[in-house]
Amino acid sequence: MSNQNKSSGVQMVRVDGDRAGQRLDNFLSARLKGVPRSAIYRMIRTGQVRINGGRCKAASRLHEGDEVRIPPAQTRARGEHVVSDAVCRQIEKAVIYEDEDVLVVDKPSGMAVHSGSGLPWGLIDGVRKLRPDEYVELVHRLDRETSGCLVLARNGAALNHISALFRGGDVDKRYLCLMNGVLPEAVTEVNAPLLKKQRGGQAEVEVNEQGKPALTRFTLLQSFGGCCYAEAELLTGRTHQIRAHAKHIDHPLAGDDRYSDKESVRAWRKRGLNRLFLHAHRLAFLSRSGEALSIEAPLPAKLRAVLDGLGA
């Protein structure tokens, strides 16, 4: 339900039960079709968007009955937000699981999950183009460089349920990664708080006592000369957590142009790795009905080829 002040263009929108639990930025993106993500973040940051009259953050979770103040916003230029048919076909082929509540996509590396930071579209826009009459919302996020399992909700109840599982640490999240150097033990836990900062217009994360608690468990799968293949289990869900923790223990991920040095990135490119070696290969959680779901995305062929080359 919404009321609009015609003289100012401001909307006062009351959150219904279907949208309860949703992040504010995703809520606004769904309502302000064609408005750049960067513009939405700017409106939130400058206090133009309010929840129940108070300032808020992009990650603020909405509750049923909340009143959201939405200022007038300028849409994109015609055609800027269009997702090509080729990209839509790529996304359609990447769907690996679907039921009445969720859609799981094996997200390609290099594809952002949503628009923003100069990107006119994201995977969510492609899914909405493929399914124009359906409710589809992101439950969580993956870095643009990371491939693998990405969960989208197909109704408000599913969004609330699975978002709560992610927030409560009740989703088993496993990633496959290639690390510089060899882990000293079969299992290495990194329990170090992470603080997000903006550097050169990009978000970067560092271990810092002022940061949020973060715990990652690395399990050694295979050792090679000067590197190792491992599974990373996320026991918390912080931005760039695996990448920052890998750097912290002096085993930065192969191909990571943000958390490892340029010489390392160049060396991996010579070995055929032109992307970050990080793949979300498994998610497991309980559905709304209590059914145990376990969804896996196989390691991409290009990453498998790199491993095969190391073992040759």
Q: Where are the domains of the chain?
A: 2-70, 85-165, 169-311
pLDDT score recorded for residue 79: 41
Q: What is the pLDDT of residue 7?
A: 44
Q: pLDDT at position 108, please?
A: 95
Question: What is the predicted pLDDT for the residue at 39?
Answer: 82
> What homologous superfamily does CATH list for 85-165?
Pseudouridine synthase (3.30.2350.10)
Taking the C-alpha atoms of residue 175 and residue 233, their distance in angstroms, rounded to an integer, is: 6
What pLDDT does residue 84 have?
87
* Beta strand pairing call for 194-199 and 202-207: antiparallel
Burial (CB count within 10 angstroms: exposed 0-12, middle 13-18, buried 19+), residue 84: exposed
What does the pLDDT read at residue 19? 84
Q: What is the pLDDT of residue 81?
A: 55
CA 231 remoteness from chain centre:
18
Cα dist from 250 to 147, 161, 190, 225, 234, whole Å: 23, 37, 12, 16, 18
- Which CATH code is given to the segment(s) 169-311? 3.30.2350.10
Give me the pLDDT at residue 312, please.
Answer: 55
Q: Report pTM.
A: 0.77
Residue pair 281/303 in contact (Cβ under 8 Å)? The answer is no
Let me know: does 16 contact 96? Beta carbons within 8 Å. no
- CA torsion sign, 232 to 160 to 197 to 72? positive
Let me know if the fold of 2-70 is the same as that of 169-311.
no
Sign of CA dihedral 284, 285, 287, 289: positive
What does the DSSP 8-state code read for residue 116?
A: B
Rg (C-alpha) for the chain, rounded Å, is 20
CATH of domain 2-70: 3.10.290.10
In the block, which residue shows the tokens 């912290």?
A: 248
Catalytic residue IDs: 143
The phi-psi region of residue 23 (left if phi > 0; otherwise alpha if psi is between -120 and 50; otherwise beta) is beta
**Residue 78, pLDDT score:** 42
Q: Which residues in the chain land under pLDDT 50?
A: 6-7, 77-80
Could you read off the pLDDT of 219-278 as tens digits, one per residue? 999 999 899 999 999 999 899 999 999 999 999 999 999 999 999 999 999 999 999 999
